Chains A and B, each alone.
Chain A
Amino acid sequence: MTTSTGDGAPTLERVDDPWVDGSLHTDAGDVPRVRTILSASDRLGSMKARWGIGRMDYRVTPGLYATGNPSAESPVLVSANYKMSFDRLRAVLHGRDAWILVLDTDGINVWCAAGKGTFGTDEIVRRVQSAALDRIVSHRTLIVPQLGAPGVSAHGVRRSCGFRVVYGPVRAADLPAFLDAGLKAQPEMRRVKFDLGDRVVLIPVEMVSGGRYALLVAAGLLLLGGLSSGGYSLAGVRTIGLTGAGLVLGAFLCSAVLGPVLLPWLPGRAFSVKGAVLGLVLIGALIAGGGLTDSRLHVAAWVFMVPTIASFIVMNFTGASTYTSLSGVVREMHFAVPAQIAGAVVGFGLWLTGLFVAGGLGL
């Protein structure tokens, strides 16, 4: 696979990609035709990308592609060169004749790339011109996914290359209905949702991105657990250290999973508040259930640290959510970050103190 930009003679190298099953001859050169049935390796690739494995290379070569046997009248659908975006699009085009114009978005999906501006007006105009689209189709309409709109100015595209932008539905699954209705979207197709299923698929990537920090903190507490007024002891590592590491990882995992799952039911609007409440419930349940047999100072330390961890983890889920505004995030961080720092300092301070005084003071 190459990253050729195309120049009127569309790139033939792309025919080597496994999702290409031939090429179509047009007035402006040959266009690769893609399969509309996803293979096992396409599915495996999506799964790996969800866990953050190899997702930086998960891309297709930008340029024009075909599904079925498109003619000069067939619709043109614009997509990003993140392979999961491309796969989802070609899969719903099964049995249809269409053109797919893949933009170079650095392998990033439509919505995120639109926010960064790589899925944008200029890139559309460039690709329309480099594919010589005006010689391939007789109409002048581009169907752009609605979530690309933050980066695209429809009137800007029209002015620069004469193509009219029609925004398609938010979800690829609604595309067939949208096409069959003569490019009309039901209001429902224009709404972004954040259902349980949408939230759950985001858990793995959130866990992978935060996991190494949680492991680092856990390892730190494990080692520090050996400290005491009587010097360093492995027994301390095995008891206090291990408990500390376990609680940090437990708090991290519970918040990374339960935060997204319980999001609509956790009280408060600010994600940091939702997380803090979740953390209080978790540590409360643990203490009430008799699962925490540490010294009183250490119990107090965890009452601060667990909600702090949970608050931070759930606050970071704003980035994955589909409804948080920048102004809102800035507002909540204004109070949440100082509170989280205070919680961490007090909690960790109590925990450290507990290492040295617990035995002596009978706390």
Chain B
Amino acid sequence: MRYIEDVVSLEFDEKLCNGCGMCAAVCPHAVFELVNRRASLADRGACMECGACARNCEQGAIRVRAGTGCASAVLSGMLSGGEPSCGCSGDKSKCPPDGAP
């Protein structure tokens, strides 16, 4: 399954990368892969903007507008005039009740 891809905010600066592999390890959608001991974008369009890669890249080579792709969060953000805020109590947003530890 694929979502709207052309608006993904993920940016990667290859020059800063030291090939540690952290981004590839944390990404749940295999957006990064290591090629010749450097990260490269294997599937940018699959990015769900969870922010895991950017937060775990010590070199600061990755930028992404991290957030939760949740319509009701965006709606409540619009209504309260602020940022999208995930008002769910846990099971709803990006929270598969099954499988995830």
Known: A146-B28, A191-B29, A330-B74. A171 touches B100 (CB 8 A): yes
Give the docked Cα–Cα distance between A320 and B48 (Å).
13
- Which residues of the other chain, A, contact B1 by a CB distance below 8 angstroms? 194, 263-264, 323
A215 in the interface (beta carbon within 8 A)? no
Minimum CB–CB distance for A189 against chain B, Å: 11
- CB closest residue in chain B, given A82: B90
From 56 to 95 in chain B, residues with beta carbon under 8 angstroms from any chain A beta carbon are 56, 58, 65-75, 84, 86, 88-95
Contact: B26 with A149, CB < 8 Å?
Answer: yes
Give the docked Cα–Cα distance between A323 and B49 (Å).
9
Give the docked Cα–Cα distance between A198 and B95 (Å).
10
Contact: B28 with A190, CB < 8 Å?
Answer: yes
Give the docked Cα–Cα distance between A50 and B92 (Å).
10
Contact: A328 with B94, CB < 8 Å?
Answer: no
Determine which of B26, B58, B95 lies in contact with A111 in the assembled complex, contact meaning CB atoms within 8 Å: B95
What mask results when residues 44 to 63 of chain A are scored 1 for a CB within 8 Å of chain B, else 0? 00100110100110000000
A261 in the interface (beta carbon within 8 A)? no
Contact: A323 with B67, CB < 8 Å?
Answer: no
From 46 to 92 in chain A, residues with beta carbon under 8 angstroms from any chain B beta carbon are 46, 49-50, 52, 55-56, 77, 79, 82, 84-85, 88-89
Give the docked Cα–Cα distance between A170 and B67 (Å).
19
B25 in the interface (beta carbon within 8 A)? yes
Centre residue among B30, B65, B97 by max chain A CB count within 10 A: B97
- Which residues of the other chain, A, contact B2 by a CB distance below 8 angstroms? 269, 323
Count B interface residues, CB 8 Å: 52
- Which residues of the other chain, B, contact A111 by a CB distance below 8 angstroms? 94-96, 100
B41 in the interface (beta carbon within 8 A)? no
Known: A170-B99, A198-B98, A327-B7. A318 touches B65 (CB 8 A): no
Contact: B91 with A319, CB < 8 Å?
Answer: no
A28 in the interface (beta carbon within 8 A)? no
Contact: A329 with B46, CB < 8 Å?
Answer: no
- Which residues of the other chain, A, contact B29 by a CB distance below 8 angstroms? 191-192, 323
Contact: B70 with A108, CB < 8 Å?
Answer: no
Interface residues of B, dominant DSSP: loop
- Our count of residue pairs bridging A and B at CB distance below 8 angstroms stands at 217
From 1 to 49 in chain B, residues with beta carbon under 8 angstroms from any chain A beta carbon are 1-5, 7-9, 22, 25-30, 46-49
Contact: B48 with A175, CB < 8 Å?
Answer: no
Give the docked Cα–Cα distance between A9 and B98 (Å).
34
Minimum CB–CB distance for A344 against chain B, Å: 14
Minimum CB–CB distance for B2 against chain A, Å: 7
Known: A324-B48, A326-B69. A190 touches B8 (CB 8 A): no
Number of contact residues on A: which range applies?
A: 35 or more
Minimum CB–CB distance for B6 against chain A, Å: 8
Contact: B89 with A50, CB < 8 Å?
Answer: no
Contact: B101 with A172, CB < 8 Å?
Answer: yes
Contact: B69 with A209, CB < 8 Å?
Answer: no
Known: A50-B91, A56-B89, A82-B90. A315 touches B7 (CB 8 A): no
Contact: A269 with B4, CB < 8 Å?
Answer: yes
A238 in the interface (beta carbon within 8 A)? no
Among the 9-residue stretches A12-20, A200-208, A286-294, the one with 4 or more Cβ atoms under 8 Å from chain B is: A200-208
A152 in the interface (beta carbon within 8 A)? yes
Give the docked Cα–Cα distance between A33 and B47 (Å).
39
Centre residue among B50, B90, B94 by max chain A CB count within 10 A: B90
- Which residues of the other chain, B, contact A247 by a CB distance below 8 angstroms? none
From 179 to 238 in chain A, residues with beta carbon under 8 angstroms from any chain B beta carbon are 185, 187, 190-192, 194, 197-198, 201-202, 205-206, 209
- CB closest residue in chain A, given B28: A192
Minimum CB–CB distance for B20 against chain A, Å: 9
- Which residues of the other chain, B, contact A307 by a CB distance below 8 angstroms? none
**Closest 6 pairs between A and B when the two form their complex, measured CB to CB:** A319-B70, A326-B67, A324-B69, A149-B52, A328-B4, A192-B28
Other than A50-B97, A326-B65, A329-B71, give 18 A-B pairs with Cβ distance below 8 A.
A52-B91, A109-B97, A149-B52, A149-B56, A150-B50, A150-B52, A190-B27, A190-B28, A201-B98, A202-B97, A323-B48, A324-B70, A325-B49, A327-B7, A327-B8, A329-B74, A330-B84, A333-B75
The chain B residues found within 8 Å of chain A, CB to CB, are 1-5, 7-9, 22, 25-30, 46-52, 55-56, 58, 65-75, 84, 86, 88-101
